[in-house]
Structure 1
Amino acid sequence: MSTAAALQSDSKPGQYAELAEQAHGLLHGERDRIANAANFAALVYNALPSLNWAGFYFFDGSELVVGPFQGKPACVRIALDKGVCGAAASSRRTQVVRDVNAFPGHIACDAASRSEIVVPLVADGELLGVFDVDSPEPARFDEDDRSGMEQLVKIYLQSLRGD
């Protein structure tokens, strides 16, 4: 079994490359969606700095329902037309929000969150859910985070197929 090691790189791209390697090792050989989501959320939450929530919302056919996560208790259900998670799910595009208070319809599950990134989980054209990461720091996430998080989500989705 692989466990998260401290990230050595000083650059975000380097940190995401290290994290991708760790994610591959952690998820290798396991195809269970919940088990992999739990380990994946714990890996990201404990490896990256300045996070206060990291986890999954899975699409149940009509709305997003909270899945495995790290952080304070979360909103249980999110409509596809609500908040950053709903926007990522309905548009199927990663949402990078520098100031959640400026995002129309933001859902404040944790008032301490100031910025957010949400990556949609899409496999074979089907929406599976979203991976959501929050920070108590304004403008915590940028294009390096978008690229890195999208690569990490690909690793998670590949694990479900046994790739």
Structure 2
Amino acid sequence: MFTASTLSGSKPEQYRQLAEQAKALLHGESDRIANAANLSALIYHALPNLNWAGFYFFDGTELVVGPFQGLPACVRIPLDKGVCGAAATTHQTQRIDDVHAFPGHIACDSASNSELVVPLVKDGALVGVLDLDSPVHARFGVEDQEGLETLARLFVESLG
């Protein structure tokens, strides 16, 4: 498994390496819990300056915490709350440089200062979100967003 110290090259190249590792982890497996567990561990240990990486799944009403790496998290998130709710309702990635300035931000971990949330959508239906938090302000750039959107797409494709 990759760690932050084993990835090499430019940031896009590092995300290509992560995508290849993700493909290998997801290959032949369609269970969303198993795949979310492996993918959250891969991301958390491969990318620097994260304090949380994981999944929330849509249960038809709200987002419910799934597999993750980091401190204990909020269990349920209403769709009209926080960065995760915004990504879920708009079906658009939310890249937030300062979560404290985001209206309705939910502070599950007060150490988090920036966040990137990628919606997980299959055949037009919300499956959930991939959520990453960082203690560093403005931790996530466009290259991070693109790389994590690729990993999220690979996860959704694994669902069969």
Q: Distance in 2 between matches of 1:77 and 1:109?
A: 11
Letter in 2 for 1:139: A
Q: Distance in 2 between matches of 1:9 and 1:141?
A: 18
Q: Distance in 2 between matches of 1:18 and 1:49?
A: 15
Q: Name the SS for the 2:22 alignment partner.
A: helix
CA-based RMSD:
1.0
The C-alpha deviation readout for 1:21-50, integer Å capped at 9, x for no partner, is 000011111110100000000000000011
The C-alpha deviation readout for 1:122-158, integer Å capped at 9, x for no partner, is 0001000000000010000011111111001011111
Q: How far 1:78 moved relative to its partner?
A: 0.3
Q: Name the SS for the 1:118 alignment partner.
A: strand
Letter in 2 for 1:4: F
Q: Is the 8 A contact 1:7 1:15 kept in 2?
A: no
Q: Is the 8 A contact 2:54 2:68 kept in 1?
A: yes
What is the correspondence of 1:50-129 to structure 2 with a 5 Å cutoff? 50-129=49-128
Q: How far 1:10 moved relative to its partner?
A: 3.9
The C-alpha deviation readout for 1:93-148, integer Å capped at 9, x for no partner, is 00000000110110000000010000000000100000000001000001111111
Q: Does 1:24 align with 2:35?
A: no
Q: Is the 8 A contact 1:115 1:138 kept in 2?
A: yes
Identity rate, percent = 67
Q: How far 1:72 moved relative to its partner?
A: 0.1
Q: How far 1:15 moved relative to its partner?
A: 1.1
* TM-score of the aligned structures, taking structure 2 as reference length: 0.96
Q: How far 1:160 moved relative to its partner?
A: 1.3
Structure 2: tracts of 5 or more residues without a match = none
Q: Distance in 1 between matches of 2:81 and 2:159?
A: 27
Q: Is the 8 A contact 1:88 1:95 kept in 2?
A: yes
The C-alpha deviation readout for 1:50-100, integer Å capped at 9, x for no partner, is 100000000000000000000000000000000000000000000000000
Q: Distance in 2 between matches of 1:92 and 1:57?
A: 14
Structure 1: tracts of 5 or more residues without a match = none
Q: Distance in 1 between matches of 2:38 and 2:135?
A: 22
Q: Distance in 1 between matches of 2:72 and 2:25?
A: 25
Letter in 2 for 1:25: A
